[in-house]
Amino acid sequence: MKIASARLIVCSPDRNFVTLKIVTDEGIYGLGDATLNGRELAVAAYLEEHVIPCLIGRDPFAIEDIWQYLYRGAYWRRGPVTMSAIAAVDVALWDMKGKALNTPVYNLLGGKSREGVLVYAHANGSDVAEAVESVQQHMEEGYLAVRAQAGVPGVKSSYGVPKSGKPYEPAERGLPSESLWSSERYLNFAPKLFERLRVEVGEDVHLLHDVHHRLTPIEAARLGKSLEPYHLFWMEDPTPAENQEAFRIIRDHTVTPIATGEVFSSFWDSHDLVRNQWIDYLRMTIVHGGGITALKKAADFAAVYQVRTGCHGATDLSPITMAAALHFGLAIHNFGIQEHMPHTVLTDEVFPHAYSFEAGYMHPGDRPGLGVDIDELLAAKYPYQRAYLPIARKLDGTLTDW
């Protein structure tokens, strides 16, 4: 069997998605997600100009060799654009191989290690009362783990808080909007949110929280310490991780578990964090981390240090990445939790899929391959529209991490 053709489908059913379709000379096809939120067309051009021409005629079963060809062969390694492009090829080939062998991808990854994939939902509120209500709503829907974010008093448009009662959505059409940030106000507020949450929702539900890279290491240490009585499942992205050693400072001061990695594009971004056991959960995602092949290696390394996975699963990752993450999460031994931010009805119509949610867990389904498809005719009705993530400034106007 040979790769006969490959092409891109760029669409925007409520938000932008870049999809790679690889077709073999036997007519079997595989799908890969190449979406990089706010920089979508950079990955599309990388694939179109520099990757697709090299794929034609290759053996689609040689997934490892093709991964190495695109990674080592480019000379220029790593970075989110390169790794998202490689991931799209890699995931499409796993999907295609599953279809060719008539088995779900989780079977190709060692078979299932569990019956379902524990997922966490997003609860948001403009204030504490709304956040409590939102957590309770998600618990009623069956979620066993919920991430809680609330508006910080005195800080306009805080991270994670939806505008006009809609679910929180991280990208907006048009040029980047601006939001404000105050670490001081946030640090005083966050423990109050979780104190109230534990009173209202009890001890058993897993509560998570995303700091979104906004604190310095010592501020993050203070936050982790102040949240200890509420035993969070994790504190996410407490500080930027370019300097991996920054996490040592946090770790030295608190037992609140730490998760990071949603912006990582390489195993090497996590190397020191994992081998020093400065984190508990690695959040690298299949699309931005270089595909199933790359994530499997990173997860196996993490397993040696008892670090578990907690893959990013926001709506800017297409249902193809969600399906891939669920096959991966069902199969690997050191799976921790998977983020679940449901897509809109329209996105789900464009990407019909076999995965499902029940009583706190998701399952990828048992269809051959990934069990997700794309309705190209419907996709064509929703062309790409430029969109950006917001930027953030401190109260005095200084640009800071969003």
Residues that bind Mg ion (CB under 5 A): 210
Beta-carbon neighbour count of residue 111 at 10 Å? 11
Starting from the edge strand earliest in sequence, which strands make up the sheet with 391-394, in order? 178-181, 391-394, 399-400
Tell me the C-alpha to C-alpha distance, in Å, between residue 273 and each of 44, 98, 196, 266, 287: 31, 33, 32, 13, 21
Q: Of 3 and 387, which CB lies nearer to ligand GCO in the complex structure?
A: 387
Q: What are the two backbone dihedrals, phi and then psi, of residue 316, each rounded to the nearest 5 degrees? A: -80, 0
Q: What's the distance, CA 359 to chain centroid?
A: 21
369 binding partner (options Mg ion, ligand GCO, none; Cβ < 5 to 8 Å by kind): none
Sketch the per residue contact string, 326 through 355, with ligand GCO: x for CB under 6 A, - otherwise.
-------------x----------------
State the Cα–Cα distance between residues 219 and 240, nearest whole angstrom: 12
Binds ligand GCO by CB under 6 A, chosen from 314, 320, 354, 374: 314
Active site residue 168: no
Binds ligand GCO by CB under 6 A, chosen from 12, 37, 183, 254: 37
Sketch the per residue contact string, 245 through 274, with ligand GCO: x for CB under 6 A, - otherwise.
-----------------x------------
Residue number of the CB closest to ligand GCO reads 314
Active site residue 333: no
Residues touching ligand GCO: how many (CB under 6 A)?
10
Long-range CB contacts for residues 107-113, cutoff 8 Å, separation at least 24: 107/331, 109/292, 109/296, 109/327, 109/328, 109/331, 109/332, 110/331, 110/332, 111/331, 112/330, 112/331, 113/330, 113/331, 113/332, 113/333, 113/335
302 binding partner (options ligand GCO, Mg ion, none; Cβ < 5 to 8 Å by kind): none
288 binding partner (options ligand GCO, Mg ion, none; Cβ < 5 to 8 Å by kind): none
Binds ligand GCO by CB under 6 A, chosen from 90, 210, 280, 373: 210
Query: Which residues carry out catalysis?
Result: 159, 212
Interface ranges with ligand GCO (CB under 6 A) = 37, 170, 210, 212, 262, 312, 314, 316, 339, 389
